[in-house]
Structure 1
């Protein structure tokens, strides 16, 4: 049953960078080699692997072609990771259930 006090379980907070790193280690390729194969700069790859930048749709498709990792999986990992970071940041600034803007059900409302 949906209830605002129920917590959503968190399973993991991996980003596309984690999966790309694992694949690079498996195939023993360097950042320079991967950058050359993808047609991007080594700095771009370094920023992605260090989570300073996230992949976009075009790069996800290139990675899928070169590494065989699903572009949809890569993009979903990054979206989930960024959402996790945003939730962490917002939890520190505003209590979730204490806002006066939080939706409330009124007894006088009928469906």
Structure 2
């Protein structure tokens, strides 16, 4: 049953950029080298690593072929990260309980 009182624990949310940085550090790969290997500009890689831009499906597949990191994982990390940012920006967690649009159980309903 859905209860407003149930809270979901917040954990650190990583983006694909975090994982890419770790793998680049491990293999001692520069942004320019990675960019060349996957066919994009170094600026594009820099923007991704600094979270100014997020991965596309095509770019995630290219990275998977070069680095061996699952494209599904990369896209999932970015998706979860962007969702977390959106929730934080809009403060939806605080507004839900007071919103008149939130589903409410009517007193006359018996279950």
TM-score calculated relative to the size of structure 2: 0.92
> What is the aligned partner in structure 1 of residue 37 from structure 2?
37
- Aligned CA RMSD, in angstroms, stands at 1.6
Does 1:22 find its partner at 2:22? yes
> What is the aligned partner in structure 2 of residue 102 from structure 1?
102
After superposing the two structures, state which structure 1 stretch, 96-105 or 15-24, moved more: 96-105
Cα deviations by residue, 1:38-93 (Å, 9 ceiling, x for unpaired): 0001110000000000001000000000000000000000000000000001117x
- Between the aligned partners of 1:28 and 1:69, the Cα distance in structure 2 is 16
- Between the aligned partners of 2:96 and 2:107, the Cα distance in structure 1 is 23
> What is the aligned partner in structure 2 of residue 70 from structure 1?
70
TM-score calculated relative to the size of structure 1: 0.92
- Between the aligned partners of 2:64 and 2:16, the Cα distance in structure 1 is 12
The Cα of 1:110 is off from its aligned counterpart by 5.5
Q: Which 4+ residue blocks in structure 1 deviate beyond 6 angstroms?
A: none
- Between the aligned partners of 1:37 and 1:104, the Cα distance in structure 2 is 53
Number of equivalenced pairs: 110
- Between the aligned partners of 2:9 and 2:2, the Cα distance in structure 1 is 14
